[in-house]
Copies of this chain bind each other. A is one copy, B any other.
Amino acid sequence: MGISNAAVNSFISLTTDFGTDDIYVAAMKGIILGINPQVTIIDICHSIEPQNVGQAAFLINSAHKYFPVGTIHVIVVDPGVGSKRRALLVNSPTCFFLAPDNGILTPIIYGTNPSLQHTKSKWAQLPNGFQAFALTNPQFWHHPVSTTFHGRDIFAPVAAHLSLGEKAESFGEQVRKVRTHSIPISHTRINGEQIGQIIHIDHFGNLITNLTKNNLKGDTLHLRIAGRQIDKLSQCYADGEGLIALIGSSEHLELSIPYGSAARTLGVGIGDTVILRCT
């Protein structure tokens, strides 16, 4: 059972691939504030690569943990807008998500369950604690509804009405299955080496991998990337020189060059391989 949605909720967050050079984000905010003038809107990120569902999935999964219980998270990375893809409201045990049904909520709903995530985009049953509703009731939309901008015409007004205490059932029929998105997971080789990937590069050029503390076993780590080797886990950016490895703030294994850019120096990008051996 998801969080009760009959109470008034104060916060709406926005995550999109709209950038900040257009008026798209502002149009969503205008629609929201016209319906609920009291709500506080927080921008999480509008720099998702256009149509990059996987990147959005990683970022919203990292970010939502730091928001108050009851926050309504609107995520619009939506290459299928205007087609038959469904628009969803998903109630988690702690908050609400409004997003196209394209797998963007996979890590939030299913965590890092490899059996699911190995499989390319398909449908999956919702686990306990989650409820999903298809947004089919036009009563809560902004009209006329464009075929290219459901962020403004469907997700924003539904978020605003939800923040006013409207029940989830009002927005459309409950659904049992949602689409999943395949997310890169680490593999373990027969010799015990773990093969990970870079899944995000931050503003400082730090390389965030899909390896976490859980992958670190034993006393010593040996990490290979782009022909370089690291044999020590640093505690913070000020601890070490040149290329270092540490557990970053998202609790993922991260490679960094303090006062520099690991991404630029190593010439690597998202999807590139990291090999971890623990001894």
Q: Which residues of A contact B (CB under 8 A)?
A: 10-11, 13, 17-24, 26-27, 29-31, 33-34, 37, 40, 42-47, 50-51, 59, 62-63, 66-68, 71, 79-83, 85, 146-149, 152-153, 202-204, 235-239, 246-249, 251, 254, 258-259
Contact = CB atoms under 8 A, between A and B. Distances in A.
Contact of A79 (B23, B29, B258): B258
Q: Count the copies.
A: 3
A247 to B, nearest CB: 8
Contacts of A40: 33, 37
A218 to B, nearest CB: 21
A147 B235 contact: yes
Nearest to A82: B236
A104 B35 CA distance: 28
Given A23-B45, A148-B236, 13 more contacts: A17-B203, A20-B47, A23-B44, A27-B62, A27-B66, A31-B66, A33-B40, A33-B68, A66-B152, A80-B238, A81-B237, A82-B235, A149-B249
A259 B50 CA distance: 7
B146 A34 contact: no
Contacts of A203: 17-19, 21-22, 24, 50
A202 B20 CA distance: 10
A33 B67 contact: yes
Contacts of A24: 202-203, 249
A45 B20 contact: yes
Given A29-B42, A33-B11, A81 B22 contact: no
Contacts of A22: 45, 59, 202-203
B63 A26 contact: yes
A20 B246 CA distance: 23
Contacts of A66: 26-27, 30-31, 34, 152
Contacts of A19: 202-203
Contact of A63 (B20, B30, B47, B79): B30
